[in-house]
A = this chain, B = another copy of it.
Amino acid sequence: MNFRIVLYVLGGLLRLLGLFMIIPLGVAYYYGESLTPFLISILVTTITGFLLLSYKTEEEWMRKEGFAIVALGWLAAAIFGAIPFIMDGISPLNAFFESMSGFTATGSTILTDIESHPKSILFWRGMIMWLGGMGIIVLFIAILPKLGVAGRQLFRAEMPGPTEEKLKPRVRETAKILWIIYFVISFLQVIALMLAGVSLYDSLNLMFSTVSCGGFSNYALSVGAFNSPHIEYITALFTFIAGVNFALYYRAMFVDKNTLLKDEEFRFYTALILAASGLLTFLLWRDFGTNLSDSFRLAIFHVISVMTTTGLVTTDFNLWSDSAKMILIIVGFIGGCAGSTGGGIKVVRVLILLKHSRMELFKALHPRAIKGVKLNSKNVPEEIVNSIVSFVVIYLLIFVSSALVLSVLGMDIITSFTASIATLGNVGPGMNVVGPMGSFDSIPLLGKLVLIANMWIGRLEVYTVILLFTPEFWKK
């Protein structure tokens, strides 16, 4: 392990983070709010960045350094990104929680009176989700495939061009394309929201939350605060878009117009959303007497929001009937598409596991048959199935363990399980105590630390973080 390289790259990252902090500083200036929080944050972050940049080296980073950079990079961003919150009077642990929740685009919040905070602080809170979302896309499509992590070829296969060159130039080129797509989608949503009458400030914040699948809102009532079906449908549409593999958009534009319709993961993603929304519409109509069109509006918004692990809401789904809640729990487990900003297990993993099981059933009848799993007409190598399996096993193990810790700390079963999956799957809100109108503030200290770890681990596809905690990783 070459520590110099890791520190050097982290230095560059912090310098960049310091630069980004100038934006909320401008917002604070515009609204006549205190500039101190951001001035101090910029100073601390930038100085630390430059100190680390002194470890300059010409060496290339390899596999191990790659894992360390990704995991520690997100951790460092969450730590330094928390400074503005601390300056705003939030306790360091809560500030760290909120910052990690932002950078991992989780959207679980410890704030209890959101509207009481300065606009610039809330802007920063939204912006870090957006930055996190940017990082996630690059991580998924450009970095993880190179590190050989869980389900790697799934994303690699979608990107054009050769993939066996040196890491650096390839990452930059891929990242650039993806960011342009991310920018364009962000821009379109802001325009759409402003045309619907939303202020620029609110449009930007809602866009941050949507395209990153983040889910923080500047309003306690979340998207419900706008009280507008029009805005809800715009948000739902862009949430749906954010939950799709971004590499597909590239292919659709430059390679094959029908990419989306041909892609099995996209089709399964859409089918699941429609099926779950249909059932949920029925349940809301049956259990609450809501008329069908309002039931559908509620259903499609929340199914998309929870399945993409965005976590924006238009109502307190914690008050729904248990069957309606169960649908949200199930889709939240599945998550968005690979290569999207969404979290969760990911649609493609679920799809491959289902195909794998169907094939095994077939083999039980025809034991001598040689048959593999296919995705988009291509064979899925055994090693991908293997890495998906271990991903899901470790994921479920962490899910159950952290739920157990929370319950030992005194939380009820539903709060424990949903807080665990809400953070590990980067969904945001859970149920009961941590429901959409609740807060993670009341969770005891140890519980908060576990949930912070969950967000970090879940966001970085489990392996990236877990590896850091194996003795094997630190061996020469």
Distance in angstroms from A329 CB to nearest chain B CB is 8
Distance in angstroms from A462 CB to nearest chain B CB is 9
Are B327 and A360 in contact (CB-based, < 8 A)? no
Find the B residue at minimum CB distance from A473: B365
Known pairs A357-B390, A360-B390, A362-B472; list 19 more (Cβ under 8 Å). Answer: A150-B360, A150-B364, A322-B411, A323-B407, A325-B413, A326-B407, A326-B413, A330-B404, A353-B393, A356-B390, A357-B389, A360-B386, A361-B390, A361-B470, A365-B467, A365-B473, A382-B382, A385-B389, A389-B389
Determine the distance from Cα of A470 to Cα of B387 in the docked complex, in whole angstroms: 28
Determine the distance from Cα of A367 to Cα of B353 in the docked complex, in whole angstroms: 22
Distance in angstroms from A281 CB to nearest chain B CB is 13
- Contacting residues of chain A (344-397) with chain B, CB-CB under 8 angstroms: 353-354, 356-357, 359-362, 364-365, 367, 382, 385-387, 389-390, 393-394, 397
Determine the distance from Cα of A28 to Cα of B322 in the docked complex, in whole angstroms: 45
Determine the distance from Cα of A382 to Cα of B390 in the docked complex, in whole angstroms: 14
Whether, in the assembled complex, A466 has its beta carbon less than 8 Å from a beta carbon of chain B, the answer is yes
Which residues of B lie under 8 Å from residue A354 when comparing CB positions? 393, 397
Whether, in the assembled complex, A412 has its beta carbon less than 8 Å from a beta carbon of chain B, the answer is yes
Determine the distance from Cα of A364 to Cα of B64 in the docked complex, in whole angstroms: 9
Whether, in the assembled complex, A63 has its beta carbon less than 8 Å from a beta carbon of chain B, the answer is yes
Which residues of B lie under 8 Å from residue A389 when comparing CB positions? 353, 356-357, 360, 385, 389
Find the B residue at minimum CB distance from A412: B322
Are B148 and A361 in contact (CB-based, < 8 A)? no
Chain A contact surface mostly: helix
Distance in angstroms from A144 CB to nearest chain B CB is 10
Contact with B along A462-476 (1 / 0, CB 8 A): 010011001011000
Given A322-B411, A367-B148: A393 and B362 interface contact (C-beta under 8 Å): no
Which residues of B lie under 8 Å from residue A148 when comparing CB positions? 364, 367
Residue from the list B364, B385, B403 in contact with A326, Cβ < 8 A: B403
Which residues of B lie under 8 Å from residue A149 when comparing CB positions? 364
8 CB contacts below 8 A, A to B, read: A279-B408, A322-B412, A322-B416, A325-B413, A354-B397, A359-B390, A360-B390, A364-B463
Determine the distance from Cα of A416 to Cα of B329 in the docked complex, in whole angstroms: 13
Which residues of B lie under 8 Å from residue A414 when comparing CB positions? 413-414
Whether, in the assembled complex, A400 has its beta carbon less than 8 Å from a beta carbon of chain B, the answer is yes
Find the B residue at minimum CB distance from A354: B393
Residue from the list B279, B365, B472 in contact with A64, Cβ < 8 A: B365
Distance in angstroms from A442 CB to nearest chain B CB is 15
Distance in angstroms from A52 CB to nearest chain B CB is 25
Which residues of B lie under 8 Å from residue A92 when comparing CB positions? none
- Contacting residues of chain A (306-345) with chain B, CB-CB under 8 angstroms: 322-323, 325-327, 329-330
Whether, in the assembled complex, A283 has its beta carbon less than 8 Å from a beta carbon of chain B, the answer is yes
Distance in angstroms from A222 CB to nearest chain B CB is 23
Determine the distance from Cα of A365 to Cα of B360 in the docked complex, in whole angstroms: 29
For A364, A394, A467, the residue with the greatest tally of chain B CB atoms inside 10 Å of its CB is A364
Which residues of B lie under 8 Å from residue A359 when comparing CB positions? 390
Whether, in the assembled complex, A410 has its beta carbon less than 8 Å from a beta carbon of chain B, the answer is yes
Which residues of B lie under 8 Å from residue A387 when comparing CB positions? 360
Determine the distance from Cα of A285 to Cα of B319 in the docked complex, in whole angstroms: 34
Which residues of B lie under 8 Å from residue A382 when comparing CB positions? 382
Closest 7 CB pairs of A and B: A360-B390, A357-B390, A323-B407, A357-B393, A322-B413, A323-B408, A326-B407
Are B386 and A326 in contact (CB-based, < 8 A)? no
Are B330 and A400 in contact (CB-based, < 8 A)? yes
Given A353-B389, A356-B389, A357-B393: A365 and B472 interface contact (C-beta under 8 Å): yes
Which residues of B lie under 8 Å from residue A385 when comparing CB positions? 386, 389
For A354, A390, A470, the residue with the greatest tally of chain B CB atoms inside 10 Å of its CB is A390
Given A364-B463, A365-B63, A407-B322: A357 and B394 interface contact (C-beta under 8 Å): yes
Which residues of B lie under 8 Å from residue A325 when comparing CB positions? 413
Determine the distance from Cα of A382 to Cα of B382 in the docked complex, in whole angstroms: 9
Which residues of B lie under 8 Å from residue A283 when comparing CB positions? 408
Find the B residue at minimum CB distance from A282: B408
Find the B residue at minimum CB distance from A388: B389
